[in-house]
Amino acid sequence: MNNMPRSYQVFSFALPLPIYHSFDYKVDQDIDAQPGQRFVLPFANGKKLGLLVSAVDNSRYDLNRLKNIETQLDSAPLLSKHLMQLARWLADYYCQPLGEVTFLFMPRYCRKLRSMKTTRVQIWSALECEQATLDSLQQKAPRQFQLMLALKQNPDGLNAAALKAVQANWHAQIKVLQKKGLVIAQHKENLPPIPEVMQTGPVLTRQQQKICETIAPTLHDFHVHLIQGVTGSGKTEVYVQLMQQVLAQGRQVIYLVPEIGLTPQLIKRIQQRLTYTVVSSHSAQTDFKRYQSWDQFRRGVAQVLIGTRSALFSDASGLGLMIIDEEHDASYRQQDGVRYHARDVAIKRAQMLGIPVIMGSATPSLESLQNLNKPHYHFHELRQRPNQSAPPKIELLDIANTPLTGGCSPRLLQAIDKHLSLQGQVLLFLNRRGYAPVVMCHDCGWQASCYQCDARMTLHQSVNKLICHHCGYSMQLPQQCPDCGEPNIKHYGIGTQQLEQFLQQRFSEYKTIRIDRDSVQGAEGIEHRLEPVQRGEPCILVGTQMLAKGHDYPHITLVGILDADQALFSSFYRAAERLVQTVLQVSGRAGRAGKTGQALLQTRFVNHPLMQNLCVQSYTDLARDMLQERKLLGFPPFARVVTLLVDALQLDDALQRLQLLVKPIQASSVFASVKMVGPIPALMTRRVGRYRAQLSVMSDQIRPIRILLQELMPFIIKQKNTQKSRLVIEVDPLDL
């Protein structure tokens, strides 16, 4: 018996917990443990999945007091050295727990206590054999002969599903054929097919060609290229041209989009142009499908990955380019869980790898426009559409003293009639889903408010329910007023469901298609509903923000924006920027493919300066004015902001917890260089049954903010999150 003492090494592990420290365990010396590998760890009275982060000096510990790991799940690191470095940067910059960050970098399929399943598909193929052998099988083993015949007819082999279609109980017969040496089993990549006939792209315009020629020499170094192009100006074509150059060099591309609805149309378009494998990743896919795309891209058998925010964290064997389409979109900001901005993390990742980033938008964010002052940022502009048609000028419709029918003014209805009669398509934008946003009692003034949030509930008539769009709480529409008992309950305002219902009655000879989160499920659902639009049939498209994000509808000739007035008087400091971006993005859907477009904006405030400027100024001019205003007010992008947000069972608990951080902030070595606002109740104080308060720290420089956070983190770490109160840190928040 070997009585030699066992030798151990000590490693730190990241666990998916909202805790800022890692956990140390001992590992047998003979185990090949590397950062990025997953292990099953004993934790409390159970087990948890842990990701190895780093080795620890053994001399710091009494090894007898450390727990040993239970199981090593990976023979090689699941996360590469580069991704581990990026995770550390993200955790440090955004002040997020490293454990939660590292698990964010893994597909959800990999976050369970199990070894990884291969993403390749098992294929069975028939081997060469004599006719006499087949004749013998036909006489003595007809079921085996049936399978052999099917395999012979399919030289590329059949997978399990295909064999089951041939014969329900095929497993045993295939095993016998394998033992006889007549069939071989192999694993093959389960990749989306590449079209046999590739499409030829359009001839580049002079502006497109100039941008491609300018960017091409920089494709081997870190640069950030911002392409501002009017809607329909062909930004995607520029992306494709540059992607082809990167792919031809044997490198890979990550292509980020803000909305899953964009992915099927975009994948189809990109795949028809590239002789490389294109895979996708978004929340509408199953966990295994997202893991499959992640694994194929990581191993390099897929060269292009198109996806939403989390696709940013996909590993690659040779990443050469990152594209961020519609870079201005707020969807790139993760608002819960691990807080980060995908655009900014993508730029950091590109910097670490020394590769370029290409960002595009018709309405770039003010942050990106301000960053153009930095040396590694470059600006490019597409001022015209390839067919030389201009985006439609925005016309204001004064509805201050005008009766509306179904939310539409008489002039808008006349325009809809005209465009449909000319075989055009109409897009009506209303960023308010549901049937009606206000439900109230006229006798006592009761309003349908959410029991969990400081928000009104929206009537969804199709299910006869009141639903809160902030927390999802729902209740049946009461038959009488809950306060006074009167049946005199009315609804006011209009949502997309009511608009759709009205249009179906008013324009019954045409199809009305509603696109919002209530009407479609996943990317394929959007594609299915949009088929009449793609076919060019005269129809009316009704939708919310989902329709403002990069879709290409070549047959739309009229855009109507029903209600954008709320943004004019919002307390949200980005409201004007969002309004301008939304109006220009939506109006730009009209007048493509050589057709004349018209854009109508209904408003009760036609003389408001912003409404007037929308009609006469370009986005460049509007953005310049907004930047000047932000600079005068000391708001981002001319200020760096950190917000400490606490949600608690009681508002006093939230305010008191933030109050504990006031003295450490005031004692900071850089307090004179920052401005502190709060603690104060959050704008929406009650949400999902909890009360929220916030404290913001601002500075016109990043350095004081970083120093303050370093000095403040020990105090934050001491304040453990409990059910009673939870604190989260928002670095560079979208709101103040």
Q: Is 90 exceeded by the pLDDT of residue 243?
A: yes
Give the integer Cα–Cα distance in Å for 18 and 16. 7
- Tell the residue number behind the tokens 């520029």, with chain if given: 238
2: pLDDT strictly greater than 50: no
Residue 334, pLDDT above cutoff 50: yes
- Give the C-alpha separation, 726 to 736, whole Å: 19
Contact 47, 40 (CB under 8 A): yes
CA–CA separation, 73 and 77 (whole Å): 10
Q: What value does the mean pLDDT take over residues 107-124?
A: 90
H or E, element range at 377: strand 377-382
Which pair of structure tokens corresponds to residue 355? 């590769």
Q: Per DSSP, what are the bridge partners of residue 697? A: 642, 676
> What pLDDT is attached to residue 519?
77
Residue by residue, what is the 3-state secondary structure of 231-267?
A: CCCCHHHHHHHHHHHHHHCCCEEEEECCCHHHHHHHH
The answer to whether 12 touches 56, Cβ cutoff 8 Å, is yes
pLDDT value of position 423: 92
- Over the range 690-718, which residues count as b (16 or more CB within 10 Å of their CB) and which as e? bbbbbbbbbbeeeebbbbbbebbeeebee
Is residue 340 classed as helix, strand or coil in its secondary structure? strand
Tell me what pLDDT residue 118 has.
86
CA–CA separation, 467 vs 326, rounded Å?
30
> Is 70 exceeded by the pLDDT of residue 63?
yes
Residues in the chain: 736
Q: b vs e for 19-33, b when ≥16 Cβ sit within 10 Å of the residue's Cβ?
A: bbebbebbbeeeeeb
3-state secondary structure string across 163-228: HHHHCCCCHHHHHHHHHCCCEEEEEECCCCCCCCCCCCCCCCCHHHHHHHHHHHHHCCCCCEEEEE
Report the alpha-carbon distance of residue 221 to residue 636 in Å, rounded: 29
How far CA 482 is from CA of 250, 447, 448, 450, 689, in Å, comes to: 67, 10, 9, 13, 20
What is the average per-residue pLDDT within 181-194?
88
The contacts of residue 517 (CB under 8 Å, 6+ apart) are: 433, 544, 546
- Beta carbons of 117 and 28 less than 8 angstroms apart: no
Q: Percentage helix, strand, coil, to 5, in the chain?
A: 35, 25, 40
Question: To the nearest whole number, what is the mean pLDDT of the chain?
Answer: 90
Between CA 191 and CA 659 the distance in angstroms is: 55
CB distance 582 to 430 below 8 Å: no
Residues forming beta bridges with residue 25, ordered by sequence position: 11
- Nearest 5°: phi and psi at 608? -65, 135
The neighbour count for residue 430, using CB atoms within 10 Å, is 24
User: And the tokens for 118?
Assistant: 């291969």
Q: What is the pLDDT of residue 58?
A: 74
CA 133/CA 711 separation, integer angstroms: 80
At residue 523 the predicted structure's pLDDT band, cuts being 50, 70 and 90, is low
Q: Is the per-residue pLDDT at 3 higher than 60?
A: no
Q: Give the Å distances, CA to CA, from 619 to 33, 231, 305, 582, 635.
A: 54, 11, 31, 11, 20
pTM for this model (two decimals): 0.90
Place of tokens 């911002």: 226
- The tokens describing 304, both together, are 């292009």
Q: 2-11, 429-438, 461-470, 635-644: lowest mean pLDDT where?
A: 2-11
pLDDT at 445: 85
Retrieve residue 296's tokens. 């194929």
Q: Name the band, by pLDDT with cuts 50, 70 and 90, for residue 106.
A: very high
Of residues 530, 523, 549, 529, the one with CA closest to residue 263:
523
Fold entry, domain 8-110: GIY-YIG endonuclease (3.40.1440)
| Pick from 126, 123, 173: nearest CA to 149 | 126
What string of H, E and C letters represents the secondary structure of 84-97?
HHHHHHHHHHCCCC
Q: CA 495 to CA 11: how far, in whole Å?
A: 55
For the cut 90, the answer to whether the pLDDT of residue 207 exceeds it is: yes
- pLDDT score of 1: 39
Q: What is the pLDDT of residues 258-268, one digit of tens each?
A: 987 667 778 88
Statement: residue 546 has pLDDT above 60: yes
pLDDT band with cut points at 50, 70 and 90 for residue 550: low
Which residues, including other chains, have CB under 8 Å from residue 359's CB and lie 6 or more apart?
224, 225, 226, 227, 323, 324, 327, 343, 368
CA dihedral 161, 164, 166, 167 (to 10 degrees): 170
Q: What's the pLDDT tens digit per position in 574-633?
A: 999 999 999 999 998 888 766 788 999 999 999 999 999 999 999 999 999 999 999 999
Tally of CA atoms within 13 A in the half-sphere of 96 that contains its CB: 26
Fold of 640-731: Alpha-Beta Plaits (3.30.70)
d(CA 603, CA 691): 35
The pLDDT of residue 224 is 98
What average pLDDT does the segment 112-128 reach? 90
Chain centroid to Cα 171, Å, comes to: 41
DSSP character for 158? B
pLDDT bracket for residue 354 (50, 70, 90):
very high
DSSP SS3 for 23: strand
Beta bridge partners of 278: 304
* Separation CA 509–CA 630 (nearest Å): 49
At residue 588, the pLDDT reads 87
Q: What is the CATH number of domain 394-434+495-632?
A: 3.40.50.300
Look at residue 521 in the predicted model and tell me its pLDDT. 67
| Residue 60 confidence (pLDDT) above 80 | no
Question: What Cα–Cα distance (Å) separates residue 136 from each residue in 145, 172, 180, 210, 277?
Answer: 9, 18, 13, 69, 43
Q: At 486, is the pLDDT very low, low, confident or very high (cuts 50, 70, 90)?
A: confident
Q: What is the pLDDT of residues 414-434, one digit of tens each?
A: 999 999 999 999 999 998 889
Q: Is 394-434+495-632 the same fold as 8-110? A: no
What span, in angstroms and rounded, lies between the C-alpha atoms of 372 and 327? Answer: 14
Please tell me the predicted confidence (pLDDT) of residue 4.
Answer: 44
Q: Which numeric CATH code is attached to 206-382? A: 3.40.50.300
Where helices occur in 354-393 by DSSP H, the ranges are 366-371
454-474 average pLDDT score: 90
Stretch (H or E) spanning 620: helix 619-633
Domain ranges of the chain: 8-110, 121-188, 206-382, 394-434+495-632, 438-492, 640-731
